Structure 1
């Protein structure tokens, strides 16, 4: 006798297959890229009276206040994405070193004062890419040059 009516259990393997294909299709890269943008991209730079005020304001706005070090890149998303292609050079550990300098602001948290110091810089950036999109910013504490 033939089955009649809806049979949701027969659809379960199909739903699981679609879910697996969605995950394998780069969904994690898109999610990580969105997080990268939220944590590291601010273009144009939001006006603030000084770097310290900028860092305090931006870290609160982005929901990452208390993070020890964070850098904001003041450039368009396409120009940052370009580092994942011809605008960047392969670097160890799967990172890419930008060929050009970017306007950035580095924010460093002082846990004893519970406040940030900020520095506006122009620097090359070091990022990790996933399917042509930045997903990780390699924070570097810049030391003063030796004399």
Structure 2
């Protein structure tokens, strides 16, 4: 009995090509980026929005001084790491198009909860650090 390795090799090679993007979606740094900086469809985008979303995302123990939420699609944000962005400084990429953002800035006082934030909203280019074709860090200094 003769066993041909051709079909098995083909299946193995296809597995190598298809698996990395799937695994990349579960990358812990990418998931943390989404938790800290992504909100598809925000409600209000005012000071109460910032107080609420910062608390729900676990960014208030201690109170984070500044945090930006990017609105839109994850595909659009991921594209900044590819054809939707250009090199910017050391290992960063700047988006070609602008994104709708809400910037939440701590009002000051105690760094302990309850945290109060001032919201500002607008459209901005975003600057991200990428790993494996995915955003893993938003450069907050670009906004201040």
Q: TM-score range by the shorter chain?
A: 0.7 to 0.9
Which position in structure 1 is the counterpart of 2:133?
132
Give the 3-state SS of the residue equivalent to 1:85 in structure 2: coil
* Structural mapping, 1:25-64, within 5 Å: 30-45=27-42, 47-48=43-44, 51-64=46-59
How far 1:92 moved relative to its partner? Answer: 1.0
Deviation at 1:115, TM superposition (A): 1.3
Q: Deviations over 1:34-88 (max 9, x none)?
A: 000000000011x13x511110010001010211100000011100000000100
Report the Cα distance in structure 1 between the residues aligned to 2:107 and 2:118, rounded to whole angstroms. 8
For residue 47 of structure 2, give the secondary structure of its aligned residue in structure 1: helix
How many Å apart are 1:141 and its aligned residue?
6.4
Taking structure 1 as the reference length, the TM-score comes to 0.72
Counterparts of 1:75 and 1:59 in 2: how far apart (Å)?
18
Q: Which runs of 4+ in 1 moved over 6 A?
A: none
CA shift in 2, pair 1:142/1:33, >3 Å: closer
In the TM superposition, 1:54-133 aligns within 5 A as: 54-65=49-60, 66-112=63-109, 114-133=115-134
TM-fit CA distance, 1:140: 2.9
Count of aligned residue pairs for this structure pair: 115
User: Measured at CA, do residues 85 and 121 of structure 1 come closer, stay the same or move farther in structure 2, by a change above 3 Å?
Assistant: same
Report which of the two structures shows the higher radius of gyration computed on alpha carbons. Answer: 1
Query: Structure 2 vs 1, CA of residues 51 and 140 (structure 1 numbering), >3 Å: closer, same or farther?
Result: farther
Distance in 2 separating the partners of 1:59 and 1:130: 25
Deviation at 1:111, TM superposition (A): 2.5
**C-alpha root-mean-square deviation of aligned residues, in Å?**
1.9
The TM-score, its normalising length taken from structure 2, stands at: 0.74
Write the distance in 1 (CA, Å) between the matches of 2:143 and 2:88: 18
